[in-house]
């Protein structure tokens, strides 16, 4: 599909996703884990588009959610997938727990002793027996951005792995709680398979200990976090998944239960691009600014994480590349996509594509400066369809009372 044609038809900024790419990535996990009982639970927070959720559900995926709203999205896209949902997150409310209990999700990933007590109370109140897994914190370091590292003791996530056995034993025999599994998630955008193997090795050791003490867990949730290459390198994603699977299988040797996985970014990031139009090219002394109609409210990752996205002209012009700052029109100095980035010549009206923007792009977008969030398009083979229309000012003001 021509990005230029899509931009002309649907306007800019515009998110464009490839369905084929998403399904190809899902298939990599199935191929690498062939022979092991597993369920890929897509991390909805990465990109919560109903069309993408429906696409994945139709191909057998489950879902990892972190809020009641994300559960509602899964139910709207694929109500039949409720039994393939795991509910993670450190701050589940009683209403969210009740909602998940009523629709019959697969399991709750419990992150504290207080949450376990709340889950027990709500299950008893509703008279619904429920499956749970303790999310343990294995104290494994994963080399990634500190904002997306989650596996150390000083992080807010999970339960100290040394206390987990005590909690499983404390609720053994509870009429409304079934100790179904154990969960771990050490962070996001992790490029090496070694930390995953180390974390799962510690988890498997605990599972064997619990079995000896009469507590049989039937699932291990390995979480997500497998990273991608944002710098346009020649890395082989299928090989990365194979390495990941080898590390996990080695750590779980002898475990015959079900393996749950929660990839998000790896499935959708490189399937998406944010297409934006150049508003003008501005010279300030020695500094050149390329000002686009997309801004930090559309894609906040560079401002929030200093994240790198490759940026390319949709229709390249001849000429020597030069260092520019690529920025948006929002009234913040942090409103940038790249600084001192070499870019081929561009002029007012040209289109740029910010690559690898399928994850944590639209899902983190906002209406800062009363800006309308982008439209979204899904490309399926040789066909493209609008999966979310562009917002209007009426949409933004509908909930407000002057």
The residues carrying an active-site annotation are: 331
Residue 301 assigned to a binding site: yes
Question: In terms of C-beta density within 10 A (0-12 exposed, 13-18 middle, 19 or more buried), how is residue 1 classed?
Answer: middle
- How far apart are alpha carbons 345 and 317 in whole angstroms? 6
What is the SS3 assignment for 33? coil
Question: How far lies 201's CA from each of 34, 177, 198, 222, 255, in Å?
Answer: 20, 26, 5, 11, 11
Q: List C-alpha distances in Å: 316 to 16, 164, 320.
A: 19, 56, 11
CA 103/CA 85 separation, integer angstroms: 10
**128 near 170, Cβ under 8 Å?**
no
| 230 is an annotated ligand-binding site residue | no
Count of other CB atoms within 10 angstroms of residue 213? 12
Question: Is 222 within 8 Å of 261 (Cβ atoms)?
Answer: yes
Confirm or deny that 34 is annotated as ligand binding.
Answer: no
104 contacts 82 by C-beta, under 8 angstroms: yes
- C-alpha atoms less than 13 angstroms from C-alpha of 170 in its C-beta half-sphere: 11
β-strands 375-380, 85-87 pairing: unpaired
Consult the annotation and say whether 339 binds a ligand: no
Asked whether the beta carbons of 184 and 222 are under 8 A apart, the reply is: yes
Q: Which two tokens stand for residue 310?
A: 């490759």
Alpha-carbon gap, residue 27 to 122, rounded angstroms: 37
Q: Is 42 annotated as a binding residue?
A: no
Q: State yes or no: 4 annotated in a binding site.
A: no
Q: Residues 196, 227: contact at Cβ < 8 Å? A: no
104 is in an annotated binding site: no
Binding residue ranges for pyridoxal 5'-phosphate = 225, 262-265, 360
Binding residue ranges = 225, 262-265, 301, 305, 332, 360
Binding residue ranges for substrate = 265, 301, 305, 332, 360
């Amino acid at each position: 599909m021509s990005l230029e044609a899509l931009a002309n038809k649907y306007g800019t900024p515009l998110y464009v996703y490839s369905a084929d790419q998403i399904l190809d990535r899902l298939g990599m996990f199935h191929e690498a884990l062939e022979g092991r009982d597993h369920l890929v639970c897509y991390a909805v927070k990465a990109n919560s588009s109903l069309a993408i959720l429906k696409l994945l559900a139709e191909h057998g995926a489950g879902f990892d959610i972190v809020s009641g709203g994300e559960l509602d999205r899964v139910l709207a896209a694929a109500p039949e997938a409720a039994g393939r949902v795991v509910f993670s997150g450190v701050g589940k409310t009683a209403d969210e727990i009740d909602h998940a209990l009523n629709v019959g999700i697969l399991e709750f990933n419990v992150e504290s002793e207080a949450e376990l007590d709340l889950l027990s109370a709500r299950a008893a109140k509703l008279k619904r027996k429920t499956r749970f897994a303790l999310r343990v914190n294995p104290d494994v370091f994963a080399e990634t951005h500190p904002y997306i590292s989650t596996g150390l003791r000083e992080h807010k996530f999970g339960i100290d792995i040394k206390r987990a056995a005590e909690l499983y034993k404390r609720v053994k025999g509870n009429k409304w709680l079934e100790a179904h599994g154990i969960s771990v998630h050490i962070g996001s955008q992790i490029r090496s398979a070694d930390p995953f193997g180390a974390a799962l090795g510690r988890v498997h050791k605990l599972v064997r200990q619990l079995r000896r003490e009469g507590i049989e867990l039937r699932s291990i949730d390995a979480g997500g976090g497998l990273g991608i290459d944002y710098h346009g390198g020649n890395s082989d994603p299928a090989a990365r998944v194979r390495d990941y699977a080898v590390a996990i299988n080695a750590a779980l040797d002898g475990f015959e239960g079900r393996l749950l996985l929660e990839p998000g970014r790896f499935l959708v990031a490189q399937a998406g691009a944010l297409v934006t139009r150049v508003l003008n090219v501005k010279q300030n002394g020695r500094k050149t600014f390329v000002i686009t109609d997309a801004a930090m409210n559309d894609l906040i990752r560079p401002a929030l994480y200093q994240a790198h996205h490759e940026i390319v002209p949709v229709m390249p012009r001849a000429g020597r590349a030069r260092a520019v700052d690529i920025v948006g029109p929002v009234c913040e100095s942090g409103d940038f996509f790249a600084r001192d980035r070499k870019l081929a010549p561009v002029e007012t009206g040209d289109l740029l594509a910010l690559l690898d923007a399928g994850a944590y792009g639209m899902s983190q977008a906002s209406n800062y400066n009363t800006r309308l969030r982008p439209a979204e398009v899904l490309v399926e083979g040789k066909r493209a369809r609008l999966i979310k229309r562009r917002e209007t000012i009426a949409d933004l003001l509908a909930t407000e009372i002057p």
